[in-house]
Structure 1
């Protein structure tokens, strides 16, 4: 068996096209154009590249982008002041604060200060709570939402299947488990300290690897024919790899490439969240 590719780039293009059409229709009926405000603290090259890519994605679908660059010496209070200004700026639909930020920044305070409606990443406790409770109106975090969209749009059924998420982070693991549960999967949440991890992963029809440990998931740990989503970014010998070991592609039925699988979906969902933020604000 050779796994079929879960093509995040192709599915992301579908989402961009849908958002672009929605923006065109919104403007045609006299509605407002969405705007994404991005904030980058410091000059980390990878972070700067990601921000520029997200801005380009936004402009591609007709969403305005507004860039804010702050020096690496920025204090928490200075970032809070900018966040409050963007909260109050009626032209801004959504706010992205690129992470990681310099170590002196208290991101918990910054996230708590964000207007939950403009919280494009879905990190604010209000949004996290709504997602956890399965209630409408919450902003779903971009990577977990992208994983679910990738599965659904690739024709992989979620309802009733066994889904195992390996990784318990607040950004990916926990919310991914919640979104799969919302769609009626039977979900098991594991992590690197789970005893006999393989006994759990071998039962998974859908396996999400998000532990951040290269080679953690070996081919013997995968159920034949499973859909395997490799979320993690690990750098080994200057090369990006995920959590999967060699040979998983010969066992799985579906598999995300890494890179190129989940990353494009994360950015696409950020753009979709930006559009939806404007809809929530103004209808």
Structure 2
């Protein structure tokens, strides 16, 4: 049976390392501050906001929420983002997406100052991931994948990694982060003709396709570490499931991340890390 690679121990270790850095910032007169810009009352946004508030509060990172109504105008949203950009006490900003249909999401993302983009939503941040330069930050979930693997001692240098998914939120940036860690990366997606063949030589598989059951028994092998980034609601079972058919795959692979309790439980810790890094950049 696969070893379960849980996110909570990795998050705790990361937060412990952050504590000293936050103390040093405060001794220099700087309190790391995060602004959360939320439009409407989406349940998943509220849940993530609650988790971010709890994580940041425990670490001593200040958080302010800028809440707009679900029917707000583009001008209202741009004004809120401009306010965050102009506030020197705010080091990082988290803008919840997707935005309501009446809003131009691309314009809103690009309006955010890259140095405050702690979740990789601007073109400048994605360029930073692509070029391995310190511009903005990688998406938190993508970086959480690498943080989890590092914590559990999974060697990436020289490893063959298959990434299933090509979104700008996870698939593409995580593939670039893996390459920066000296992994050899194969990218697949839901239209890959023979997914099992593409996974056959992989030491590590990162599954972020957004569809339950994307990675099943036919794709698995005994030596693999499988990272399930998917979050899907299974109405029939009344519970959250990932993109991996965990029941079928767990007996067949070396290690597997649970859903829930895997990558998702590490994302707010990575968010806090980015806010601290953004604050540190202002005093260097």
Q: Normalising by structure 2, what TM-score?
A: 0.96
Say if 2:161 and 2:183, in contact at 8 Å, map to a contact too. yes
Q: Give me the whole-angstrom Cα distance separating, in 2, the residues matched to 1:17 and 1:198.
A: 39
Say if 1:204 and 1:222, in contact at 8 Å, map to a contact too. no
Give 2:34's aligned residue. 36
Which whole-Å deviations, capped at 9, do the CAs of 1:208-237 have from their partners, x for residues lacking one? 010011111111211212110000111111
Deviation of residue 122 (structure 1)? 1.4
Q: Give me the whole-angstrom Cα distance separating, in 2, the residues matched to 1:183 and 1:55.
A: 31
Determine whether 1:267 maps to 2:265: no
Determine whether 1:53 maps to 2:47: no
Equivalence map 1:162-173=2 (5 Å) = 162-173=160-171
Q: Give me the whole-angstrom Cα distance separating, in 1, the residues matched to 2:217 and 2:271.
A: 32
Deviation of residue 17 (structure 1)? 1.5
Give 2:128's aligned residue. 130
Q: Give me the whole-angstrom Cα distance separating, in 2, the residues matched to 1:99 and 1:124.
A: 13
Partner SS for 1:178: helix
Structure 1: 5+ residue stretches without partners:
none
Say if 1:51 and 1:98, in contact at 8 Å, map to a contact too. no
Say if 2:15 and 2:59, in contact at 8 Å, map to a contact too. yes
Determine whether 1:183 maps to 2:181: yes
Give 2:241's aligned residue. 241
Partner SS for 2:193: coil
Deviation of residue 136 (structure 1)? 3.2
Give 1:228's aligned residue. 226
Aligned match for 2:139, one of 125, 138, 141: 141
Equivalence map 1:207-222=2 (5 Å) = 207-222=205-220
Partner SS for 1:187: strand
Deviation of residue 71 (structure 1)? 0.7
Equivalence map 1:248-263=2 (5 Å) = 248-263=249-264
Say if 1:39 and 1:69, in contact at 8 Å, map to a contact too. yes
Which whole-Å deviations, capped at 9, do the CAs of 1:225-278 have from their partners, x for residues lacking one? 211000011111132101111321111111100011011111111110011011
Deviation of residue 281 (structure 1)? 2.1
Deviation of residue 40 (structure 1)? 1.1
Larger displacement relative to structure 2 (130-139 or 184-193): 130-139
Q: Give me the whole-angstrom Cα distance separating, in 1, the residues matched to 2:92 and 2:136.
A: 14
Equivalence map 1:1-80=2 (5 Å) = 2-28=1-27, 30-80=28-78
Say if 1:75 and 1:104, in contact at 8 Å, map to a contact too. yes
Partner SS for 1:282: coil
